[in-house]
Amino acid sequence: MNAELLTPDIITRAPAPAAELCIVVPVLNEALNVGPLVAAVDRVLPGIAWEIMFVDDDSRDGTRDAIAAIARTDPRIRMLHRVGRRGLSSAFIEGAQASFAPYVAAMDGDLQHDEALLPKMLAALKGEQGAEIVIGSRYVPGGGIGEWDARRAGMSNFATRLGQMVLKTQVADPMSGFFMLRRATFNTALRNLSAIGFKILLDIIASLPTPPRIVELPFQFRTRVAGESKLDAGVMRDYLLLLVDKTVGHLVPVRFVLFAGVGTIGIVLHMLVLLLALKTLGEPFATAQGVATAVAILGNFVLNNLFTFGDRRLRGKRAWTGLALFALISAVGAIGNLSVAAFLFGPQMTSWWIAGLVGAVMSLVWNYAVSSAIIWRR
């Protein structure tokens, strides 16, 4: 080996103690918040070997520069820079995986989570209660949602109830983004995680084979001062996807469930248009059925584009090509449906409803497989 590479500096520097606690902080455009956050964490964790793992999804506001400026003099500050990726949940997961610390926390990078809770969370995990997950909870006595307006409070409340139905254990605030857990607990959940959207705590709890021992500590959700919230319609959609994935995801892909749901809406739409065209407009049956089919195909395409494949949404010219392809694929599906059902009902003498159902399910699977591979491919 080249002796020059072993500079005295490398040989003699005392190794820093390995971190006991890793605080994973997903950040997206939080340039003004990362400095105050590090200072706040440092203030409340004296005597604890901590590290902060920022996970940045390619911020454009100088967030990484702000982090790098601190990291140049403080080796406890680390960062994962993801390009072409999004998502609070996957950011937390990958941040936790990049660390060796036996205790891992999730905390927002916008100062809305009260860092004073961190030492109490760690103490609870190490205490004799044997807690596996400690949650910073807004919905236990002493906790609160701060200055959220009634609309956001109502949404959070409703979403919390939905989440609680998916969990087999009692949790007051399963939607909290502020929690700490043992690495062993994280590793037990790891391979079952859905990693969809924002709600990583719910994902973790639902991914554990047995309900974990949970302690909830109250905190007041603070008001955001700098930067903007990233909560948008996509977050709601992702939350529904997560719930579906957590309930039936081990049986069928969550997208297929959505696609089938949209298909069901399409049938209702078809029947309504058929009724309208026949009874109100007095059109002949063939015309009415044709119009109803066209409307249903259009409706299905729009809903699938918005919802089922919302993350791969086609816009502008590509949406029109997509619609044309979707109509073509649906037509082929319908022909397949008809021939299979006719074959079962005729030569095979299967009962009418089995023949009908097999035909319909076959065309549904066909439409889904081909649409997702061709129209909304990655």
Binding site for ligand GDD (CB under 6 A): 26-28, 30, 55-57, 86-88, 91, 108-110, 112, 175-177, 198, 229-231
Report the nearest approach of ligand GDD to the CB of residue 216 (Å). Answer: 13
Q: Is 110 in the site for Mn ion (CB under 5 A)?
A: yes
Question: Which positions ≥6 away from 372 have C-beta within 8 Å?
Answer: 255, 259, 309
Assign 284 to helix, strand or coil: coil
User: Could you say which of 29, 59, 99, 112 contacts Mn ion (CB under 5 A)?
Assistant: 112
What six digits make up the tokens of 131? 């807690």
Binding-site partner at residue 57 among Mn ion, ligand GDD, none, CB < 5 to 8 Å by type: ligand GDD
Binding-site partner at residue 231 among ligand GDD, Mn ion, none, CB < 5 to 8 Å by type: ligand GDD
Report the nearest approach of Mn ion to the CB of residue 327 (Å). Answer: 42
Burial class (CB in 10 A: 0-12, 13-18, 19+), 8: exposed
Helices 31-44, 63-71: axis angle to 10 degrees equals: 40
CA distance 298 to 280: 22
- Residue 52 vs 55, nearer CB to ligand GDD: 55
- Among 106-114, 122-130, 158-166, 232-240, the segment contacting Mn ion (CB under 5 A): 106-114
Nearest to 99 by CA among 85, 81, 78: 78
- Residue 56 vs 262, nearer CB to ligand GDD: 56
Report the nearest approach of ligand GDD to the CB of residue 187 (Å). Answer: 21
Q: Is 99 in the site for Mn ion (CB under 5 A)?
A: no
Contact call for residues 157 and 75 (beta carbons, < 8 A): no
Report the nearest approach of Mn ion to the CB of residue 211 (Å). Answer: 28
Q: Name beta bridge partners: 106.
A: 24, 179
Nearest to 95 by CA among 135, 65, 54: 54
- Among 57-65, 105-113, 137-145, 166-174, the segment contacting Mn ion (CB under 5 A): 105-113
In the chain, how long is the greatest CA-to-CA distance?
93
Report the nearest approach of Mn ion to the CB of residue 112 (Å). Answer: 4
Binding-site partner at residue 197 among ligand GDD, Mn ion, none, CB < 5 to 8 Å by type: none
Cα–Cα distances (Å) from 179 to 21, 30, 31, 161, in that order, read: 12, 20, 23, 19
- Residue 197 vs 333, nearer CB to ligand GDD: 197
- Residue 112 vs 137, nearer CB to Mn ion: 112
Binding-site partner at residue 202 among Mn ion, ligand GDD, none, CB < 5 to 8 Å by type: none
- Residue 143 vs 359, nearer CB to ligand GDD: 143
Assign 230 to helix, strand or coil: coil
Residues across the chain = 378
Half-sphere exposure of 206 (CA within 13 A, CB side): 26
Q: Which residues in this chain contact Mn ion in the complex, by CB under 5 A? A: 110, 112
